Amino acid sequence: MTKNPEALLEEEQQIAERYQAVLERIAQAAARAGRAKEDVRLIVVTKGQPLEKALAAVRAGARDLGENYPEEGVAKMRVLDQPDLRWHMIGHVQRRKAKLVIAHYDMLHALDSVALAQRLEHLAAEAKRVLPVLLEFNVGGEQSKFGWPAWDESQWDALIPDVEAVLACEHLLVQGVMTVPPPVDHPEAARPYFRRLRSLRDFLARRFPQASWDELSMGMSADFEVAVEEGATWVRVGTAILGPRPPKKPTA
């Protein structure tokens, strides 16, 4: 299905407007919380979206793009290969995909196991690079979610050995934490999850003051303003800017 030029132009304009509107809403949420808007950065999540929408986001000014599946992002990078774009891997990385992350991505938001950390460490050392990473935590308790279990404070002490093991990886630069909370009917319902991630971050920062824990990656289309009020430094917004993701094609 190819779109006619008018439809493409209209889509591009809509994306530009929605991109600006999201930036404005971030600025307002930051102001409500007494924060500087510059302290919140927007990742446009292009996963599952056609290339022309990703291109429209870049034309609108987006420089940080987020992908969930390593190959899908790499395919877009081949076309959108501006040196000033930063590509964020925000989804779970399978062991056999770790190499793509090291070769192509600027930052990993979804480091969720010591095994993956050690695999990435090995590959990053080989490639002579350092990969900025965020540790993903499950603060909502859903079985289906990735991330270290952290929905109950009583679990936090048990995280210490794993965090120590990640911090021992010299080619991974830990910068903070990330979460994907359970879906909520109302943005306000996500607030307790964002607060929990922030207090977990504070807990880790007290235990490991030698590392940097500044970054809080939280908030998506449905709830990014609440996340900004609760301290998000990265928000990951897809559909609110690019529109609905087309249904997944069956993979060959």
Ligand X SMILES: *Cc1c(COP(=O)(O)O)cnc(C)c1O
- Interface ranges with ligand X (CB under 6 A): 45, 47, 68, 90-91, 180, 220-222, 236-240
3-25 burial, b at 16+ Cβ within 10 Å, e below that, comes to: eeeeeeeebbebbbebbeebbeb
* 48 phi-psi bin (left φ>0, alpha ψ -120 to 50, beta other): left
* Smaller CB separation from ligand X, 178 or 200: 178
Please, what is the minimum distance in Å from the beta carbon of residue 236 to ligand X?
Answer: 4
Please, what is the minimum distance in Å from the beta carbon of residue 121 to ligand X?
Answer: 22
* Smaller CB separation from ligand X, 110 or 171: 110
* Smaller CB separation from ligand X, 68 or 113: 68
Please, what is the minimum distance in Å from the beta carbon of residue 238 to ligand X?
Answer: 3
Please, what is the minimum distance in Å from the beta carbon of residue 109 to ligand X?
Answer: 7
Q: Indicate the residue whose CB is closest to ligand X.
A: 238
Concatenate the DSSP letters of all residues of 48-114 into one string: TS-HHHHHHHHHHT--EEEESSHHHHHHHHHHS--TT-EEEE-S---GGGHHHHHHH-SEEEEE--H
* Smaller CB separation from ligand X, 46 or 117: 46
Phi, psi for residue 72 in degrees, rounded to 5: -60, -40
* Smaller CB separation from ligand X, 30 or 45: 45
C-alpha 191/C-alpha 83 separation (Å) is: 36
